[in-house]
Structures are given as C-alpha cells and as structure tokens.
A and B are shown apart, each in its own frame.
Chain A
C-alpha cells in the first residue's frame, strides 16, 4: 500500500504488482463496505419489525354477534381527486406512467382511485 501511495503522489505509472493489488483491494473495500452496510440495514429492519410487533394491539375480546340489519356499513375510502388529465409527466411516456401508478398502488395496497398522482418525473 505504501508503494502504491508513493507512486500515486508523483503521478507515476504503477508497476504490475501494485496495479493488481490496488484493483483487488479496491473491489474488496467496496464489497466489504456495502456488506457491512447491508448488515446494518438488516439489523435496523429487525429492530423496526420488533417494535411494530410490540405496538400491535392484543387480540380483542370476542364481540357479541349482531344481525346484518344492525351492522354499520364498512367505511369506504373516499376516492381521491381525479388524476386523469391533471398528472404532469416529465420525460415519461403514458405507458410508463400507467405502469408506475399500478406498481405504486400495488405496493401501497390501495386502489388507484384512492391515490392522487401529481407528477411523474424521470430521475437522471
């Protein structure tokens, strides 16, 4: 490593051994760095899963049965203001936008009419 550094400072060419060493070491450092980060994210995820499980309420006591007539209708999510015609697309085709909206709806587990998309932008 010392040889690599001394060659680098003076802007010289690396000898073959230093070249191989730097390339392998560099790839190794990237791998090691991201693998440690992966472990940290796994730990973080596990902690949050545990916290979420703790927060979940205990199973409720059995509720006396009610007749259909007395049962309140289930609340229905209010449809969002229409996206059609309002959404702004930046460097995104209609087909891609439709696909993205469908994926978002699927990920969130909500019907499309309850979501409102303001704009979809291509990230460079």
Chain B
C-alpha cells in the first residue's frame, strides 16, 4: 500500500479540495450563510424550531456536495431531483431511483416532494388552533381574505421581473405568511426555488414584530387604534365540532387542490374539538409535529446547495417576499379600516393585520400595538379570528395557484 498515494487521494477527494475547485467558492459562501442562519435561529430566536434545522441541512449539503468531486458521498443530490422532474429522463418521477442512488437527505426530501410533511404540519397546527374567535365573529374571514393581497401583488411583480408563472406563484405565496403552505406550493410548482422561498418565508414570519408595527401606525389613526372591542359571543362545543367539517366540505368542493392542506388542518382541529380523541390530538400537536419539524427543516435546508442558491433570483425572492408581507399587512389593515367605518367604530382596524396568518405572532403584534394606544385594550382574542382565517385564506390562495399552474 502506497501511503503517500492514499493520502493524496484522500485529500484530493475531500471537501477541502472541493472548495478550491471550480464553483467551490459557492459552497464556502453557503457554509457562512448557514452559520449566520444558525446564529439567527439560536441567538436571535428567529423561528428556531425550523430555522436551526434548515440552516443545518444547508450546512450538511454544502460540506458534502461538490460538483464533480464528492457527488457519490453527498447527502443530497440536486441532479437526481433534476432527473426526477425531467420528463425526457428515464428516472422521471421515479422514487425508486432516488432510493437507489440518493443520500440520507434525498430520502428525507421525498416527504417534502410528495407534500407529506407540510400537510402533517398543518394537522398539528389544526390540533393546536382554537377556531372559537373566528366562529364567534365570522366577519374575521373577510380580514383573512383581505390579507392575501400581498400574495397576488408579489405574484404580479414576479411575473413582471421575468419569473415564469409557476415560479411567480410560489414567490407570491410567501405573502400568505404560512411556512407549510409556501413549502407545499413551491415543491409542486417550482422546486428549484424551495430553499430561497422557505428561508424568506420563515425569516419574515420571525420578523413580523419589526415589519408590521410601522405599517400599522402609518395606516391607522390613534383614535382607531384606541378602539376597545366588545367581547364576542360564547361558542358552543357543538359549533366547534361542526366547523371543521363544514370548512372541509366547502373548501375542498370549491378547490379540490386545497384538500391536503385544508383536510389535514381541519382533521387535526376535529381531533382537538370532538372530545373523544384526546390521545390523537395530543400526539399530532406534540410528538408528530416535532418529528415532522425535524424532517422538514433538515430536508428543506438540503435544497440550498451553493450552485443552486447563489443566484440573482434568490435576491429577487427576498425582495419580493418582503413586498408580499408588507402588502398583505396593508390589505388586512385597509379592510379593517373599512369595517371600522361600517360598524360605526366597533372594530379596531389593528386586528386586520393579523389576517396574514403567522399564528399567533401576528395576533400578538395587534395586541401589543393596541395596548400601546390604549392600555385597557385586549385585542389578542379578537385578532385570533382574522389570524386563523388567514391560514384558511392562504390555503385557498395556494389551492387556486396550484389549480391554475399545477397543470
């Protein structure tokens, strides 16, 4: 055995050699980006449950995948997924090829690609959500619809910049402020943008306390922010049980493409409310949710290979995502102002901004801003109505875009 030759081979095929190869600098930049994301997740607590996993997935793929060098040992293979999507290739839509040639993260990514993880996360969200405030004040649904404005404005803007319809739809959905929906739609329509869109969606959701308040102050008067809303009516247990069944029947009949998201959201909620499946409710909102979060975070992060992520499109996505968030907030606030006028000052327009989903962060921001204007103001429960309406609204928006662009 030639020790020198073996050492040379080891070094030549290592990731260190890969960094100095053609395009290796992109991996180096991504390693730095992954460390920054880890810092933001751990130190700044930006959506840490997902961001830490996403950042570590990004780190793993960029230390293990170097084009033409360590592809065989890589944990994730973008090329395999290109073949999977290429109708002219023999591995088109072949999960068998992924299982045969893929790495650890390729296999975990199957759950993202098949739309399983986002749907299961929605099941957990449903089991954690109390739709009571929405049932008590159904007009909250209008605010949830209004706050989807950013989705369609960003879609419009992305098309103008030059993205394809599928890509524009995936970018627009960032404005729904709903991570699982954004991941679900992007995986179906523009999987090549998944890493950038997931990062933008979760980063902006974490930044809601910074993004929304200036817009809220700009668009509302002090008098409007001071409005103390009257307590909503109590909601019976039976209403809470019937609600998820009604929503499922109506939404899925309206847009069958929403079935995985709305179906799972409402099944989780039914388990919570029906009172005879406490074990299942507990499992989906804790154990299952945590397990899926592990898989989802790390496999979404794996799509951030340097050669795919460091493009000008990523910069556009970051800018368009922020625009989408801002305009969704504007949409909710403007309709909130209309409702303030129509009801003779009974609705505080600040609850409109909570229509952007991001449960319960956006509702909490409404509560904080309302209390700043009037310390006697407790808007949290009132804002939860538009907040959960936003989840349904963003799922319908995704269903529409999937129907139009999903073929």
**Which residues on the B side are within 8 Å of A34 (C-beta)?**
141-142, 144-145, 389, 392-393, 396
Cα distance A123–B149 in the bound complex, in angstroms: 24
A8-B156 in contact (CB<8A) = no
Asked if B28 is an interface residue, CB under 8 A from chain A, the answer is: no
B155-A22 in contact (CB<8A) = yes
* CB-CB under 8 A for A103 and B380, given A45-B138, A124-B47: yes
**Which residues on the A side are within 8 Å of B168 (C-beta)?**
14, 19
* CB-CB under 8 A for A23 and B404, given A30-B393, A33-B396, A36-B250: no
Nearest-Cβ distance from residue A96 to partner chain B, whole angstroms: 8
B405-A35 in contact (CB<8A) = no
Asked if A11 is an interface residue, CB under 8 A from chain B, the answer is: yes
B151-A37 in contact (CB<8A) = no
**Which residues on the A side are within 8 Å of B160 (C-beta)?**
16, 19
Interface size on A, residues (CB 8 A): 46
Asked if A67 is an interface residue, CB under 8 A from chain B, the answer is: no
B246-A22 in contact (CB<8A) = no
Which segment of B17-25, B94-102, B208-216, B235-243 sits at the interface? B235-243
Asked if B107 is an interface residue, CB under 8 A from chain A, the answer is: no
**Which residues on the A side are within 8 Å of B360 (C-beta)?**
122-123
Give 1 or 0 for each of A32-68: 1 = CB within 8 Å of chain B CB: 0111111111101100100010000000000000000
Asked if A87 is an interface residue, CB under 8 A from chain B, the answer is: no
- Among the interface residues A20, A33, A36, which one has the most CB atoms of the partner chain B within 10 A? A33
Cα distance A5–B162 in the bound complex, in angstroms: 18
Cα distance A31–B142 in the bound complex, in angstroms: 7
A23-B148 in contact (CB<8A) = no
**Which residues on the B side are within 8 Å of A16 (C-beta)?**
160
* CB-CB under 8 A for A42 and B138, given A22-B165, A27-B149: yes
Asked if A113 is an interface residue, CB under 8 A from chain B, the answer is: no
* CB-CB under 8 A for A23 and B393, given A34-B141, A38-B138: no
Considering the complex, which residues of chain B in the window 377-406 have a beta carbon less than 8 Å from any beta carbon of chain A?
A: 378, 380-381, 389, 392-393, 396-397, 400-401, 404-406
Asked if A26 is an interface residue, CB under 8 A from chain B, the answer is: yes
**Which residues on the B side are within 8 Å of A29 (C-beta)?**
255, 396, 400
**Which residues on the B side are within 8 Å of A40 (C-beta)?**
246, 250
Asked if B152 is an interface residue, CB under 8 A from chain A, the answer is: yes
**Which residues on the A side are within 8 Å of B242 (C-beta)?**
44
Give 1 or 0 for each of A97-108: 1 = CB within 8 Å of chain B CB: 001100100110
* CB-CB under 8 A for A99 and B155, given A12-B164, A44-B243: no
A26-B47 in contact (CB<8A) = no
Nearest-Cβ distance from residue B377 to partner chain A, whole angstroms: 12
A123-B125 in contact (CB<8A) = yes
Give 1 or 0 for each of B12-55: 1 = CB within 8 Å of chain A CB: 00000000000000000000000000000000000101100000
B152-A27 in contact (CB<8A) = yes
Asked if A76 is an interface residue, CB under 8 A from chain B, the answer is: no
CB-based closest 4 A-B pairs? A41-B138, A34-B145, A8-B405, A23-B152
27 A-B Cβ contacts within 8 A? Answer: A8-B166, A8-B404, A8-B407, A13-B163, A13-B165, A19-B160, A26-B397, A26-B401, A26-B404, A27-B152, A30-B145, A30-B400, A33-B254, A35-B142, A37-B138, A38-B142, A39-B138, A41-B135, A41-B243, A45-B233, A45-B239, A48-B236, A48-B238, A103-B378, A107-B381, A124-B47, A124-B49
Q: Given contact pairs A30-B148, A33-B396, enumerate 4 new A-B contacts (beta carbons under 8 Å).
A: A11-B164, A13-B163, A27-B152, A106-B231
- Which residues of B are in contact with A by a Cβ distance under 8 Å? 47, 49-50, 125, 128-129, 134-135, 138-139, 141-142, 144-146, 148-149, 151-153, 155-156, 159-160, 162-166, 168, 231, 233-234, 236, 238-239, 242-243, 246-247, 250-251, 254-255, 359-360, 378, 380-381, 389, 392-393, 396-397, 400-401, 404-407
